[in-house]
Amino acid sequence: MVYALAGIWGRQVWTQADEGWSAIIPFHNERSCIVATIASLAAQTVRPLLVLVDNGSTDRSAEVAREACERLNLSAIHLHEARPGKVAALQCGLRAVSSRFVATCDADTIYPPSYLELAGRLLGAEGTVAAIGANCAVDAAPFAGRLAGLRLALTGRVLRQQCLNGGASQVFRTRELKACGGFDPAVWNWVLEDHEIMARIETLGRIAYHRSFLCHPAQRPRVADCTGWTLAEQIRYHATRSHQRIAFFHDYLAPRLRQRALPSERLRREPLGLPHG
């Protein structure tokens, strides 16, 4: 296992994983969830190198995450990002990545053992630069998971080159993600960062969906009321042509999110109950 602060040993670590996977996990006060997420990534048939980014936690999340990585014999880089917000944390994590593929993972989401293996097959297809999975409750019946995946895959055939789910289930070719500008608060620091990044990366290739590609996020409320975009704005997004989507986000949607005061730190979730001690 390798641990690093602020990427001090990052280059040494990632030269060993250039052809593999990295998984960026930004977190803020996720002590109650993050161990289960890390355990699910440790159980992958294709093990990633974790890039854990502590975004100002005050609940010992970072310490708990470090202990979990050590117990599970999972290599990880541990970073700290003082700028508040998920976009800043993702930017910090992506700077440490040099693997061929990268997954953005939420600290409250369970990933099936074949998640990264299937993602690698999707991204290995010629012209594919990103893939997005479906969501299903971890305790749902197998049929519910199959239905969620099938529904998203079929919708992806109709609404081509669009983002149909959030960042917890997104994977990328690292080179193309960095080529389109990656995550950067100076470019986009509002909610819906997972949709905006897809508008930029889709200019470089195909976004893939698959009926078996899914994950299991926890059902938790936001720390603050954060509706993101309105129904009218969503409809306009789906009706916007591919070559106009970057303008949709930056010229049309960003001023509205700014007016509604929805920076990326509003994406934080209410903490789950913690055990005593």
Domain locations along the chain? 10-221
The whole model's pTM is what? 0.90
d(CA 269, CA 277): 22
- Could you tell me the pLDDT band of residue 14, with boundaries at 50, 70 and 90? very low
CB atoms within 10 A of CB 233: 15
d(CA 81, CA 6): 9
Using an 8 Å Cβ cutoff, are 94 and 182 in contact? yes
Tell me which residue has tokens 């730190």. 265
- Lowest mean pLDDT segment, chosen from 10-24, 25-39, 58-72, 239-253: 10-24
Beta bridge partners of 52: 25, 78
Rg of the chain over all Cα atoms, to the nearest angstrom:
18
Task: Residue 54: name the closest of 4, 112, 115, 1 by CA.
Answer: 4
Using CA atoms of 197, 239, 227, 26 in order, give the dihedral in degrees to the nearest 10: -10
Is the pLDDT score of 102 beyond 50? yes
d(CA 55, CA 85): 7
- Lowest mean pLDDT segment, chosen from 61-75, 158-172, 225-239: 225-239
Q: What are the backbone dihedrals phi and psi of residue 189, each rounded to the nearest 5 degrees, phi first?
A: -130, 35
Q: Which two tokens stand for residue 42?
A: 């440790």
User: Residue 268's pLDDT is what?
Assistant: 73
Helix (H, G, I), strand (E, B) or coil at 129: strand
Task: Provide the strand spans (E) within 55-114.
Answer: 76-80, 101-104, 109-110
Q: What is the mean pLDDT of residues 80-89?
A: 96
% helix / strand / coil in the chain, to the nearest 5?
Answer: 40, 15, 45
- Lowest mean pLDDT segment, chosen from 84-88, 257-261, 271-275: 271-275
Task: Residue 235: name the closest of 258, 252, 255, 214 by CA.
Answer: 252
**pLDDT above 70 as % of the chain:** 87
Q: What is the mean pLDDT of residues 84-110?
A: 97
If one looks up domain 10-221 in CATH, what number appears? 3.90.550.10
Using an 8 Å Cβ cutoff, are 228 and 192 in contact? yes
Task: Provide the strand spans (E) within 133-181.
Answer: 134-135, 170-173
User: Residue 228's pLDDT is what?
Assistant: 85
Using an 8 Å Cβ cutoff, are 269 and 222 in contact? yes
d(CA 96, CA 214): 26
Tens of pLDDT, residue by residue over 172-230, are: 999 999 999 999 999 999 999 999 999 999 999 999 999 999 999 987 665 555 668 99
Question: Strands of 214-217's sheet, edge to edge?
Answer: 109-110, 214-217, 134-135
Is the pLDDT score of 149 beyond 80? yes
Q: Are strands 206-208 and 101-104 parallel, antiparallel or unpaired?
A: unpaired
Is the pLDDT score of 169 beyond 60? yes
Q: What are the backbone dihedrals phi and psi of residue 254, each rounded to the nearest 5 degrees, phi first?
A: -55, -45
Helix (H, G, I), strand (E, B) or coil at 201: helix
> Which residue pairs, CB below 8 angstroms and at least 24 apart, start in 152-158?
152/209, 152/211, 152/214, 153/209, 153/210, 153/211, 155/209, 156/132, 156/207, 156/208, 156/209, 157/209
